[in-house]
Amino acid sequence: MIWCDSYNNLVKVLKGREAVDEFGLRVALQMSADDSRNLIDSEAAAKLGAHRALFYNQEKGETLEKFRPYDLPSAEWISAQCQKIKAKRCK
């Protein structure tokens, strides 16, 4: 799980766009049209209002799901998601 304040900083930290593409699940909050296009292949995040986000799932045909991010997930939820990811990699 990675968090970054801008697309350009994300690319710098990961040393290129190819590394960004390795993340099939992404969340985008309100951002510029260019950053949105680069991160989730859509300008939809540029049209978001306050307290809205988009969940991008590359594995399911690059789907976008709008949601309201209110609170941090619990430690139990994060642990369960990590277990699912580990199980998926072992297949």
Is the pLDDT at 19 greater than 80? The verdict is: yes
Residue 89 has pLDDT above 80, yes or no: no
DSSP secondary structure of 23-36 = --EEEE-S--HHHH
pLDDT, mean over the chain: 89
Q: And the tokens for 21? A: 């593409």
Do 40 and 26 contact (CB within 8 A), yes or no? Answer: yes
Segment 32-45 mean pLDDT: 93
Give the start-to-end residue ranges of the domains of the chain.
Answer: 7-89
Which residues are registered as beta bridge partners of 53? 67
Q: How confident is the model at residue 42 (pLDDT cuts 50, 70, 90)?
A: very high
